[in-house]
Copies of this chain bind each other. A is one copy, B any other.
Amino acid sequence: MVYTYLVKQPTDSTSVFKLINTKDGIRQGSLKTRVGTVVTPTFMPDGTRGAVKSLSPQQVADTGVQIVLANTYHLHLSPGEKVIKSLGGLHAFANRPGPILTDSGGFQVFSLAHVNKITEDGVTFRDPVNGDTVFLSPEISMQIQLDLGADMMVAFDDVTALDASGRGRTLEAYERTHRWLDRSIAEFQRLTKHMSADERPLLFGVVQGGLDNDLRKKSLELVQASAVDGIAIGGLSVGESRQELYDMLRFLAPFYDSDRPHFLLGVGDPKDMRIGIENGIDMFDCVLPTRNARHGSAWITGDKKIQLTNAKFAKDTKVIDPKCDCYTCREGFSLGFLRHQFKVGEPLAGSLVSVHNIRYLQRLCEEYRNLK
């Protein structure tokens, strides 16, 4: 039996998102958070441990980033949400006045924790650094995210892989995700009831259901019927083929209601983002631009990749992409310089290419935002 839920009416929070224009399935919108309004579609780099890896907040802001994502799992383990709260919350901690979104921790428990046990109550795992037993549940995830001081939060979900080993757990994970959504919402409402509409962070519910169209459609309907401010699409980009990802994005497109933002979790490849945007997605996050950058991989016009560590670039005076307006390209850092910096292991190379890759995804979003 597929678990069915009490359908709740959305709160009046739906007004946080305004659709400015739509064109061929592409949405141009604006999302109001308690620390400022952002325009969509938009890409959010991952500031996993409170900072986008190897970049100063100034460098991040210079790329046109509007929202930074911080990881609940990592920050809960170190330094802990109580420490961050005592340091003034994530905005003061990470020196970022603009919007911050925290994820639920669910994906990291699934992908990073070495030993984990999922029960109806929550997930138990070991801290990979000190071996301590850690427990996360929908209620604890909400408490952590509020303590961190997030402007946008994500309900705690049960994530499962989409490779051969994980697909058998799709239904179980879908059902638990929805029971946990109810608990996430209840705890969120309990913890935020004293807050005014202007003070309250936004809450995203997560759609699961693996590659099963019926489950996904039902999951989307359930999340959209819940008291959440935004719709997150989870459990994709976790081992399925590209075609399967695209098919699911296209399948879901007609079923979105249009009054809330749609956030595709963990996707940051330009080609994938285009399919997402062309199928109603408004927000993306991923470690890809910075992780690729640290390994010497840069995107260039046409969503192609070049590998900057390649010896053929040793004497190349050209920049990564002459059409790019990022600091790295604008200031004229040559392929030869970048190749050398990677070769000798200088961290500046990863920073400069991170700036480029993040800017690449911002420009991709701007392209869609500027479509008439």
- A binding-site residues for B, Cβ under 8 Å: 49-51, 53-59, 74, 78-79, 83, 86-88, 92-95, 314-315, 317, 327, 331-334, 336-337, 339-341, 343-344, 346-348, 350-352
Asked if residues B346 and A49 are in contact (CB atoms below 8 Å), the reply is yes
The number of times this chain is found in the oligomer is: 2
Cβ–Cβ contact B331 & A95, under 8 A: yes
Distance in angstroms from A183 CB to nearest chain B CB is 30
Tell me whether B341 and A49 are in contact (CB under 8 A): yes
B93 touching A336, Cβ below 8 Å: yes
Decide if B49 touches A79 in the complex (CB within 8 Å).
no
In Å, the complex CA distance between A189 and B50 comes to 54
Q: How far is the CB of A62 from chain B (nearest CB, A)?
A: 9
Do B56 and A327 have beta carbons less than 8 Å apart? yes
Q: Which 9 pairs, one residue from A and one from B, show the smallest C-beta to C-beta distance?
A: A87-B336, A79-B340, A54-B347, A51-B348, A86-B315, A49-B344, A93-B337, A347-B347, A95-B331
Q: How far apart sit A95 and B88, CA to CA, in the bound complex (Å)?
A: 38
Chain B residues near A51 (CB-CB < 8 A)? 341, 346, 348
Instruction: For the complex formed, measure the closest distance between the CB of A128 and the CB atoms of chain B, giving whole angstroms.
Output: 12
Per the bound structure, the CA–CA distance linking A57 and B95 in Å amounts to 22
Docked CA distance A55–B348 (Å): 6
Smallest CB–CB gap between A336 and chain B, Å?
4
